[in-house]
A and B are shown apart, each in its own frame.
Chain A
Amino acid sequence: MKKIEAIIRPAKLDDIKEALGKFGIHGMTVTEVIGCGLQKGKKEVYRGTEYTIDLLPKIKIEIIIKDKWVDEVVRIIINTARTGEIGDGKIFVYPVENAVRIRTGEGGEEAI
């Protein structure tokens, strides 16, 4: 099992969710996050004073999948989330040792 963690533009969440759904992935954890990277901060003005806000809002999606689907899922996320501009985000892939469904107690790939 692998965990795919994708940091994406907030506006892309619905598209990715839909594309993953078509592929057959219906479970995910979504978190609102802030962070910084290559993308420049945004400018805000309050009573005539300009501020640069360095930490920008992003969405973090976490999905646990079988090993064999990793390449395909990564490709779907890239195709859906990419605009070509700086700030499109990143994808990380981690190994997962086990998964347990709390309701039934079943473990492993059956639980994801």
Chain B
Amino acid sequence: MKILNLTPKAAPYLLAILLLTAVLPGNAWAAGEPTADTGDTTFIIFSAALVLLMTPGLALFYGGMVRKKNVLGTTMQSVIAIVLISLQWIIIGYTLAFGPDKAGLIGGLEWLGLKDVGLTPNPDYAATIPAQVFMVFQMMFAILTPALISGAIAERMRFPAYVAFVLLWATLVYDPVAHWVWGVDGWIRTLGALDFAGGTVVHILSGVSALVACLVLGKRKNRPTEPTLPHNIPMVVMGAALLWFGWFGFNAGSALGANGIAAAAFVTTNTAAAAAALSWLAAEWMHHGKPTVLGLVSGAVAGLVAITPAAGFVTPMAAIIIGIISGVLCYFMIAVVKGKLGYDDSLDAFGMHSVGGTWGAIATGLFATTTVNPAGADGLFYGDPSLLFKQLIAVVATYAFAALATFIILKAVGLVFKLRVSPEEEEAGLDITQHGEDAYRDFAVSGSVVRSERVVVHTPVIEAKTIN
């Protein structure tokens, strides 16, 4: 019986893949190797699933904030990262980030295609969970980070250029910096700077890259009478809720075990989110006279960003201070400074992730204490100023590298693909021009099937709309 309908052209490739799989060493259980702890393994597998959920959450968070003609394009920019980085990480990303160190700067290619990344723990990273569980947990962070950048370039980047950018950025920016901070012998890790769950690697890195990306692409071309207002705030709230929920996997899971540090990180995470939501709301209430729902959920995300590097190193009371300051600081950057400087960071990827992340990295240098986590360090308020200095070095290095590398990558992508949609396409929206879909078909459709053999395409009719 013929099971696979292969064209003669595809057969050799399939054969090659099968052979390659057979040649790669299996995951043998050798005597004396560390064994996985069932509780830790269970917890990290579920944490990985929680972190994965943050990316669709981000799609809703961002998607609700754009105009309705761009909601699918914006959603796509988040969820395509799941697809792209799931593969990139297996093939090359993981080995670049966590593979055997090369000069403190990057992992080697020894673990290409997950060679030698097996089912026994790698004590260098997590002694009680299978190496593949650690790998897949880290994969979810690598997926979320490039998706965060899309907030700055929303409503104007062409899809092919975005895909190329995400793949290059993940490989040339995220993977090396993840190695600096978390890889064995990575230079920031060796320096002794602390980043519990990715304040530097995820948030500063994506936030700074987002600012550079929105400057390279330029502002959206909307008329002054057509402000770019959020089209669906309940959708933003739903996205923020999924982010908050997923963040427990992100931060508590970064303890890499079902233990007290995970509990501490869970508590500080929730605490900082609440404190920042409240402080943003208060700042907005005083500034404009109304507490908004968008403000509350934005504040919560600002708090979650800021606590990320500190989660497993600080006390719950410190988390309140970190949260309060993050909410006010991010609000000030977004509501006041952004307007004065005039850059078009559409959904405030820089204002949330870089600003909140930088404050979190500094706060870790202030509030970290070994009474919470003996594996951490004492910050300035616990008698040791040196940690703060190390945190600042890590922040400055990340800013510089992210800005330079993102600029070069975008210029390189721009040589092959057009980065921006045309003014006409921008006017029509990304949904129709980039993806051929309309998110909300609230008027009657009149059209016909243009091509039916393989794909059904309906041609939408431009309707005269009175209100929506």
Which residues of A pack against B, CB within 8 Å? Answer: 31-34, 44-51, 54, 57
Q: Count residues of chain B with CB under 8 A from any CB of chain A.
A: 21
B-chain residues with CB within 8 Å of residue A45 when the two chains form the complex: 284, 288, 290, 292
Determine if A48 and B288 form an interchain contact, defined as CB atoms under 8 angstroms apart: yes
Interface of A is mostly: strand
B374 interface residue (CB < 8 Å to A): no
A51 pairs with B229, CB closer than 8 A: yes
B142 CB–A CB distance under 8 Å = no
Task: Judge if B447 is at the interface, Cβ distance under 8 Å.
Answer: no
- B335 and A32 form a contact (CB under 8 A): no
Q: Are B467 and A34 in contact (CB under 8 A)?
A: yes
**Are A49 and B466 interface neighbours, CB within 8 A?**
no
Q: B229–A48 contact, CB under 8 A?
A: no
Q: Which chain B residues in 329-352 approach chain A with CB under 8 Å?
A: 331, 334-336, 339, 348
Chain A neighbourhood of B467, CB < 8 A: 32-34, 57
**By the criterion CB–CB under 8 Å, are A33 and B331 in contact?**
no
- Are A48 and B466 interface neighbours, CB within 8 A? no
Dominant secondary structure of chain B at its interface with chain A? helix
- A45-B284, A47-B348, A50-B288 known, 17 other contacts, Cβ within 8 Å: A32-B466, A32-B467, A33-B467, A34-B466, A45-B288, A46-B230, A46-B294, A47-B294, A47-B298, A47-B331, A47-B334, A48-B284, A48-B288, A48-B336, A49-B335, A51-B227, A54-B225
A57 to B335, CA, bound (A): 27
List of A residues within 8 angstroms of B225 by Cβ: 54
B287 at the interface (CB under 8 A from A): yes
Which residues of chain B (255-296) have a CB below 8 Å from chain A? 283-284, 287-288, 290, 292, 294-295
* Interface positions of B from 213 to 268, Cβ below 8 Å from A: 225, 227, 229-230
A33 CA to B467 CA, complexed, in Å:
5
Shortest CB distance B65–A (Å): 8
